[in-house]
Structure 1
């Protein structure tokens, strides 16, 4: 009996070692049932938007013709208008020497299939001699997210960058071309306590109403997730003025934060509009990997990969769980080579269109890409690198 037990113990030990070894070397990525995906990059399509050296418009700040998207085009929002997908993307002109030192404007592109786009030659949102000049000049209008109300009003959240403090601004439109700017979203709450701290990256809560993705309310309030270093929340009754969620000490309530040893070990930056599902609220976010020992060695240091978090429907500020590995990561050459040399798939646009989910993202801060999730035929998520 003792020999049998010894042999059995040895067999179990070998089996455990084999399973451990497989787990360490397998690149198979499996999503939990609550998550969206996987998303597939359509063959031969990406990048869908790249810089245009010919597009020019009369810049109201200089009163000169400006090649407004000649340098880089990236970080897109997306929505549906008249049975077409519209992508609103960040563009950089030829001024400055690096990201953050040029002027950014928001361009417009539309598509009947979500893959091939026709672009406007002029931007639709940009710094001007208007009420927002002090917040938007000379840095510009950056990194939009957009969603639509049930009555057809489009709401865009974007970063107002004056090269001093980045602030979340909001604008509305009925046609995605002409926009009304309302300025920084936190100016009226808590006597302006959070108005002048750096704030960016707003993901408003949406839901599916039939085949239409629309802005949602919970208990009469609109919700958004926002933040770059940590994930925070805010609520509103009018979509223009927003009140951040705070803790018992009156400080910003952190919903979740970077995790040592994971792909999101350096930043957890909110992505496209969040989605209400039966299992909870899914927040898509961009995780930046720490370049040192605090990061996940399987992913490039300082790279941005795409994550998902699940939050409670009854308490939208309560985190339930999140993915331990990204569902989308820089893999293609144009995702790993460009203005941002460490690689990004920076997700900002997610739209439901023709029974599928189209995800639009910035590629290395240089171009725009798309990946598609078909709920009836889900693709595998991006594989996990093997050390």
Structure 2
């Protein structure tokens, strides 16, 4: 097995093959093998790339009122490429209430020809309305999009439908990213009906690079996704709309990985952007939340903080874990990642695009802003450095 960089433990100097800065670390740190993606570098002096806007107005179809629909916070983006343009779908909250999850969320659209500088549409493109999904999406709205595209150019977005009772995964499709057809909860027709009354979020459909484009792939003849925040689970589909969860031998939801006491993902393992099928396996980037209880947390990181991890699954058996990183490849480091409505700090990864021979990773910062990090395979950099022990 080859390795891009190797870390040593217990009071030794951490040395990267790429010449990373040396630092002290008194706890075993990970070996980073060649199946990982990154490191991702934050471009200088550009982040955050999307921030709240108090000037854009939208007539809410539910209340009939003109609203500043992205006044409060803009965060947790998905991304996809159409032609020569990269698009970001981002979650935007109005200012109708105070507190996480108490305002209404809608999805805004922004476009870029370099992946860094964006032009935003003045109105949201996906939002709660007086339609077939009202019971699932009102009054909380539509949240946290993960978007991908089929080979024939159909865009598919998985998002959280939030009625302030039960969060559910919903799906919508589009040909132009502006007009969307809502198809409703993805598990509505599944053989596991309990899911419709159980909280579930965060769908990462499997994609692959084909002809220099990141497109939705099939595994063993079916579409495949990873999903969930309390352990990573799976689901399959024949049509991208109706999904069946993967069950264990007891007929219950199967978990492929779970939280780990003492690690950066000790509280949550929440799926990130679309997974990527590579020659090494299926690579899932996910969001790990550190426990709020010190005795269960990785004490090198702030309690409650969100950092980003990677796990590799077998490409022929997507339920089988091959390897998993023990430490995050990204963590809150910049001021805008550590200050916002989520005060413990967040890099919440949701959008991943292969664009102009580089990988662009879009993420939410402290539930308040959107930022980008870039991995250039021809000029690789290191993962975020680990903090010293506390």
TM-score of the two chains, using structure 2 as the length reference:
0.93
Does structure 1 retain, via aligned residues, the 8 Å contact 2:30–2:326?
no
Aligned residues: 370
SS of the equivalent of 2:288 reads strand
Partners of 2:220 and 2:108 in 1: CA distance: 35
* Aligned residue number for residue 22 of structure 1: 12
Does structure 1 retain, via aligned residues, the 8 Å contact 2:30–2:325?
no
* Aligned residue number for residue 244 of structure 1: 245
1:273 CA drift (Å): 0.1
1:41 CA drift (Å): 0.1
Partners of 1:356 and 1:249 in 2: CA distance: 43
SS of the equivalent of 1:194 reads helix
Does structure 2 retain, via aligned residues, the 8 Å contact 1:233–1:245?
yes
1:309 matched to 2:307: no
* Aligned residue number for residue 327 of structure 1: 329
1:214 matched to 2:215: yes
Partners of 1:343 and 1:19 in 2: CA distance: 26
* Aligned residue number for residue 199 of structure 1: 200
The correspondence of residues 285-364 of structure 1 with structure 2, limited to 5 A, is 285-291=286-292, 292-364=294-366
Does structure 2 retain, via aligned residues, the 8 Å contact 1:30–1:380?
no
1:231 CA drift (Å): 0.5
The correspondence of residues 121-160 of structure 1 with structure 2, limited to 5 A, is 121-160=122-161
1:218 CA drift (Å): 1.1
Partners of 1:19 and 1:380 in 2: CA distance: 18
* Aligned residue number for residue 190 of structure 2: 189
SS of the equivalent of 1:190 reads coil
1:362 CA drift (Å): 0.1
Over aligned residues, Cα RMSD in angstroms? 1.4
* Aligned residue number for residue 18 of structure 2: none
Does structure 1 retain, via aligned residues, the 8 Å contact 2:206–2:276?
yes
Q: Could you report, residue by residue, the CA deviation over 1:264-283 in whole angstroms, capped at 9, with x for unpaired residues?
A: 01100000000001111000
Rg larger for: 1
Unpaired runs of at least 5, structure 2: 1-7, 15-22
TM-score of the two chains, using structure 1 as the length reference:
0.94
* Aligned residue number for residue 11 of structure 1: none
Compare the two structures and name the one with the higher helix fraction: 1
Q: Which range moves more in the overlay, 43-52 or 80-89?
A: 80-89
Runs (4+) off by over 6 Å: none
SS of the equivalent of 1:349 reads strand
1:76 CA drift (Å): 0.1
